[in-house]
Amino acid sequence: DAGVIQSPRHEVTEMGQEVTLRCKPISGHDYLFWYRQTMMRGLELLIYFNNNVPIDDSGMPEDRFSAKMPNASFSTLKIQPSEPRDSAVYFCASSFMGQGNYEQYFGPGTRLTVT
């Protein structure tokens, strides 16, 4: 398996623009997670899905952030409008509940810079 795939790997955009991050989880995994990582705040869970259904979005910073999972093999995280404080590395991860160790597999991340 190719692992979790994220695109783009790097994104530089201007404040006010819309940003869409994409994720393809590992086939067969039933959980998908979106994280944000910064030096100041560490690794923060934004939202996670179980069988394509959003379970907990309490980590989403504000209404500017939205996430969708239209099918088992694709998810998006959208920021509209973007702000400089959104600059961070965004990770997508997936896992399979049937796995005894509940390991989460992380994608390579998208480094977002908002100027």
Nearer to other proteins, 45 or 73 (CB): 45
Q: Which of 48, 60, 75, 88 binds other proteins (CB under 8 A)?
A: 48
Q: Which stretch binds other proteins (CB under 8 A): 13-21, 65-73, 75-83, 107-115?
A: 107-115
In whole angstroms, what is the distance from residue 17 CA to residue 91 CA?
A: 20
Q: Is 71 in the site for other proteins (CB under 8 A)?
A: no
> Which candidate, 17, 23, 65, places its Cα nearest to that of 44?
65
- Judge whether 47 and 91 are in contact, CB under 8 Å: no
- Smallest distance from the beta carbon of 98 to other proteins, in angstroms? 11
If the CB atoms of residues 14 and 44 are measured against other proteins, the closer one turns out to be: 44
Backbone angles phi, psi at 84, to 5 degrees: -55, -35
Check residue 108 for interaction with other proteins (CB under 8 A): yes
In Å, how far from its chain's centre is CA 103? 17
Q: What are phi and psi of 85, to 5 degrees?
A: -70, -10
90 binds other proteins (CB under 8 A): no
- Rounded CA separation 54/34 (Å): 11
Give the interface with other proteins as residue ranges (CB under 8 A). Answer: 31, 33, 42-43, 45, 48, 50, 55-56, 58, 91, 93, 95, 97, 100-109
